[in-house]
Amino acid sequence: MKVMFVDDRIVEIVNQWRLSGCESNCELLPLLPFDSVELTGEMVDTFRPSVIVIGYGSGKPDVTGSDVIQFLRKRGYKGFVVANSGGGAEQFSRDGVEVDGVVNRNPHDLKMVMENLSLKGM
């Protein structure tokens, strides 16, 4: 599985990924701090992730993880979406965005969610 993180906290993501042990089954795509919805769309087009792990806060005013996911789905993204947010799926749900898993920045949860998604055919 190819995994892309969309977040503004790169150091946390690197630590979460390293501690999760997911590298044996998954490919971590290049990490860039969140810049814009459009740049994220370009990265998704280029790297074609099967899973996007996304935080709710983006570090940008008036842009949430829900905005990014809605933009990507309108462009045709069909892969899995995993919430990597302290607020879990609730924040996304309030915005009408459905996610396929929640890891809450926890390496153990990340490994479990990735294993479950791989069983679904990714």
Domain with residue 67: its CATH number is 3.40.50.2300
Q: What is the mean pLDDT of residues 76-95?
A: 88
Non-local CB neighbours of 115 within 8 Å, separated by 6+ positions? 25
In percent, how much of the chain has pLDDT > 70?
A: 98
The alpha carbon of 56 is separated from its chain's Cα centroid by a whole number of angstroms, namely: 10
pLDDT tens sequence across 10-31? 999 999 999 999 998 899 999 8
Total domains present in the chain = 1
